[in-house]
């Protein structure tokens, strides 16, 4: 049942934050989160009247204390830094203001930290902000990657992360036992059911989404295209193409993966879920002007379909069913394309150059074929 596990409060906060955003589709959110409209509107009403306290049974400390003294502000700033050792003056000042604990400037908070012997820059904080390219709207692009192999006390951990490019919202943070196609697919289906479909997903070239360098498609990529998502890969040996994922991984490591190894996958997942709530809803993001990712994220209007929908090819396309190992032929010329498309229909669309065709699988261009270079 929804909202009944250990992360119930974080799920409620995520739901009401998305539901109270401008233009939110509450009915769609109810379907995605698996709750009824009566329950949803009750949560929304309580949240609007009482804030976070309206989502919990016990009372909470008031969010606003306008007459805080400087010692209280200093104590609160130090407490936040202790709890979040990667945060610098900008983030701490923003959270203090959000919680009604005075309005100190970032430089004031930095001074407090330095006076109390906190060395900025050791774990993070104190760096100057910089501007990055971002897509215009949520769900235009999701970035996806594994954060390497991490040792457990017994076994290995493979953190799977998916990040929305526009908002930096963490959509998936899963403690996986491996990096197989089925493992990734199961986690993505859960995210698609909750948040809807993105228009495009970007990955690197490693398995299970690439062949390690040739930028070829895999069975996972083919499934994503069938689901209605465009797939793109970073250039080989250019990890900066997925810069937001790389930055997210550094923050994840510094904030949630310091200290002794996790005992098992369950302990790792519990830690990830706690940190994901802080990252999405509490930690100010410099690239977002001090806002949190949940302030900018909206669910996608594109619902996930459990079964791929039929696809109609364009007039003039030469449609071929790809044989084993990628074998096919066109105008009497045999050739091969990526073997991941075996058993599926691929359309070859004429270009302006005679004998040259663009190969499409559904909406996705997969390569260009020049029959002039193919032996008869």
Window from 93-107, 220-234, 256-270 with minimum mean pLDDT? 93-107
Query: Could you give the CA distance from residue 299 to residue 138 in angstroms, rounded to a whole number?
Result: 8
Q: Output the average pLDDT for the chain.
A: 84
Tokens of 61: 């400390």
The pLDDT of residue 349: 95
Q: For 176-191, what is each residue's pLDDT tens digit? A: 999 999 999 999 999 9
pLDDT, average across residues 291-303: 93
Say yes or no to pLDDT of 338 above 60: yes
The pLDDT of residue 303: 95
* Closest alpha carbon to 145 in 209, 63, 191: 209
Specify the 3-state DSSP secondary structure of 271: helix
Q: For 154-174, what is each residue's pLDDT tens digit? A: 889 999 999 999 999 999 999
The pLDDT of residue 368: 94
The class that CATH gives domain 70-115 is mainly alpha
Q: For 200-255, what is each residue's pLDDT tens digit? A: 999 988 888 876 544 478 999 999 999 999 999 876 555 556 889 999 999 999 88
pLDDT, average across residues 254-264: 89
The class that CATH gives domain 142-296 is alpha beta
The rounded percent of the chain whose pLDDT value lies above 70 is: 86
* Closest alpha carbon to 124 in 256, 241, 19: 256
Say yes or no to pLDDT of 130 above 50: no
Domain boundaries of the chain, sorted by first residue: 8-55, 70-115, 142-296, 318-373
Query: Could you give the CA distance from residue 96 to residue 112 in angstroms, rounded to a whole number?
Result: 13
Beta strands (DSSP E) in the chain are: 142-146, 150-151, 156-164, 170-176, 200-203, 230-233, 318-321, 327-330, 333-336, 345-350, 356-361, 364-370
pLDDT confidence band for 117 (50 / 70 / 90): low
Higher pLDDT, 69 or 316: 316
Tokens of 365: 């261009």
Query: Could you give the CA distance from residue 31 to residue 176 in angstroms, rounded to a whole number?
Result: 26
pLDDT, average across residues 334-343: 93
Say yes or no to pLDDT of 129 above 50: no
Residue 12 DSSP label: H
Query: Could you give the CA distance from residue 345 to residue 319 in angstroms, rounded to a whole number?
Result: 6
User: Environment class of residue 279 by beta-carbon count within 10 Å: exposed (0-12), middle (13-18) or buried (19+)?
Assistant: buried
Residues 6+ away with beta carbon under 8 Å from 260: none
């Amino acid at each position: 049942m929804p909202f009944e596990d250990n992360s119930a409060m974080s799920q409620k906060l995520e739901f009401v934050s998305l539901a109270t955003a401008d233009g939110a589709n509450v009915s769609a959110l109810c379907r995605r989160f698996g709750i009824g409209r009566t329950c949803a509107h009750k949560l929304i009403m309580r949240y609007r009247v009482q804030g976070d306290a309206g989502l919990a049974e016990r009372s909470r400390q008031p969010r606003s204390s306008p007459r805080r003294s400087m010692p209280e502000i200093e104590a609160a700033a130090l407490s936040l830094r202790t709890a979040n050792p990667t945060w610098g003056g900008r983030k701490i000042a923003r959270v203090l203001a959000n919680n009604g604990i005075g309005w100190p400037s970032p430089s004031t908070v930095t001074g407090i930290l330095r006076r109390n012997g906190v060395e900025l820059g050791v774990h993070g904080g104190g760096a100057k902000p910089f501007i990055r390219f971002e897509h215009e709207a949520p769900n235009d692009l999701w970035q996806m990657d594994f954060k390497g192999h991490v040792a457990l006390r017994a076994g290995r951990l493979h953190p799977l992360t998916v990040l929305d490019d526009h908002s930096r919202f963490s959509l998936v943070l899963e403690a996986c036992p491996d990096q197989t196609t089925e493992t990734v697919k199961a986690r993505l289906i859960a995210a698609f059911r909750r948040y809807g479909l993105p228009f495009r997903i970007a990955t690197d070239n490693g398995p299970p989404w690439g062949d390690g360098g040739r930028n070829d498609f895999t069975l996972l990529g083919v499934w994503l295209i069938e689901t209605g998502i465009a797939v793109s890969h970073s250039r080989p040996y250019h990890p900066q193409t997925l810069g937001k994922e790389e930055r997210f991984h550094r923050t994840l490591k510094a904030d949630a993966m310091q200290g002794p190894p996790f005992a098992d996958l369950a302990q790792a997942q519990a830690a990830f879920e706690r940190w994901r709530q802080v990252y999405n809803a509490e930690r100010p993001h410099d690239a977002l002007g001090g806002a949190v990712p949940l302030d900018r994220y909206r669910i996608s209007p594109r619902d996930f379909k459990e079964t791929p929908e039929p696809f109609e090819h364009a007039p003039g396309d030469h449609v071929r069913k790809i044989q084993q190992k990628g074998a096919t032929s066109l105008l009497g010329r045999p050739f091969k394309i990526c073997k991941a498309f075996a058993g599926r229909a691929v359309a070859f669309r004429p270009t302006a150059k005679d004998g040259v065709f663009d190969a499409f699988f559904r909406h996705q261009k997969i390569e260009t074929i020049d029959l002039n270079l193919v032996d008869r």
